[in-house]
Amino acid sequence: MNALIAFLTLFPGVTAPLQSPRTIELNVDGVARTALLFESRSKGPQPIVFAFHGHGGNSRQAARSFAIHENWPEAHVVYPQGLPSKGKTDPEGKKPGWQQQPSDLGERDLKFFDALYAHLKDQIGFDSKKVFAMGHSNGGRLTYVLWASRGDKFAGMGPSGSPALLSVRQWPAKPAFVIAGEKDAIVPYAGQKLSIDALKRLLGVSGEPKTEGYAQYFTGRQGMRLGTYVHPGGHEFPAEGGKRMAAFFREISQSRERLAQ
C-alpha cells in the first residue's frame, strides 16, 4: 500500500487529488493542434466536457478560469487550444481564437473537434452519451457552432458571453446553461438576451423558473432543461460560472443514467 492510499484509508473523508493534465497533440490538415486533458479519476466510461477559451486566451488560462475539472472531477475535461483568428478586438488576427460560423476558415475548428473527439474516444473511452461543450466569448460562439453543426454528438451545451447563430430554430433541442453579463461592453447583453429567448422557444420553455441567486432553471418540452446565469457584471467569465456549469452538466448526466435504468 503506497503512502497516498494509506492516507486516504485512514482519512476516508479526504478525496484523492486531481490528476495532473496532459497535453494532447494532433495533426489536423497538416496543422499542429493541441489540447489540455484532465482525465477522470473514476474508472469506466465517464462523461467528457470540451471547454473552449475566449479570443486571446489559451488552454491553461481556460482551465484556471472555468475549473470544470475541479468542480466535476468524475468527468474527463479537455481544454482545446485555438489558433490565430480575426476577432472584434483583434482585426489583424494575431491572437488565438475560433471560427465563428460553421463554414468559416475551411471548418478548421470543426475538423479539430472531430479529430479530438475520435482520438479521445479511442484513447480514454469516454461515454458518448454524456458529451458536453462549453466556452466563453469566442469559445461560446464555437459552442453554438458545434451545436448547429455537430449537435447529435452532445448531451448538453454551455455558451457564455456570446450570441447564438441565426439558425437556432433548426438545431436539435439540447439542455443548455447560458451565462451572460448585463454590462457586457464587448457582446451587448441585448443580443445575448435574444439568444436566450430563442433557446427558450427551441426548448419549449414555459412557466416560472426556479431561481438560485443569479441562476434560473427552466423546464421545457419533454423535461428539456434550460439554465441561465445573468449576472450584473461585464464580459468576464463569472467566478461562480464554472461551478454552476459543472453542476448543470452533472445533473443532465445523472438524469441520463436514471433514464437508462
Rounded mean pLDDT of 236-254?
97
Q: Give the per-residue pLDDT at 236.
A: 98
Residue 193 confidence class, pLDDT cut points 50, 70, 90 = very high
What was the pLDDT predicted at 89? 84
Per DSSP, helices labelled H in the chain are: 3-10, 59-66, 68-71, 108-124, 138-150, 189-203, 241-260
User: What is the model's pLDDT at position 28?
Assistant: 98
Q: Does 20-260 carry CATH code 3.40.50.1820?
A: yes
- Residue 16 pLDDT > 70: no
* pLDDT exceeds cutoff 80 at 11: no
- For the chain, the structural domain boundaries read 20-260
Q: State residue 88's pLDDT score.
A: 82
Nearest CA-CA partner of 147 in 125, 126, 163: 163
With 0.85 as the threshold, say if the pTM is over it: yes
In terms of residues, how long is the chain?
A: 261
Distance CA 111, CA 91 (A): 24
SS3 90: strand
- Confidence band (pLDDT; 50, 70, 90) for 175? very high
CA angle 146, 233, 132 (to 5 degrees): 25
Chain segment 128-145, per-residue pLDDT in tens? 999 999 999 999 999 999
| Average pLDDT taken over every residue of the chain | 92
* pLDDT band, very low/low/confident/very high, at 14 (cuts 50, 70, 90): very low
Query: Model confidence at 2, in pLDDT bands (50, 70, 90)?
Result: very low
- How remote is the C-alpha of 188 from its chain's centroid? 21
Three cell numbers, residue 138:
469566442
Q: What is the C-alpha separation between 192 and 144, in angstroms, rounded?
A: 12
CA 157 – CA 87 distance, rounded (Å): 23
Mean pLDDT value across residues 177-184:
98
Query: How far, CA to CA in Å, does 223 sit from each of 6, 49, 80, 217?
Result: 44, 22, 31, 12
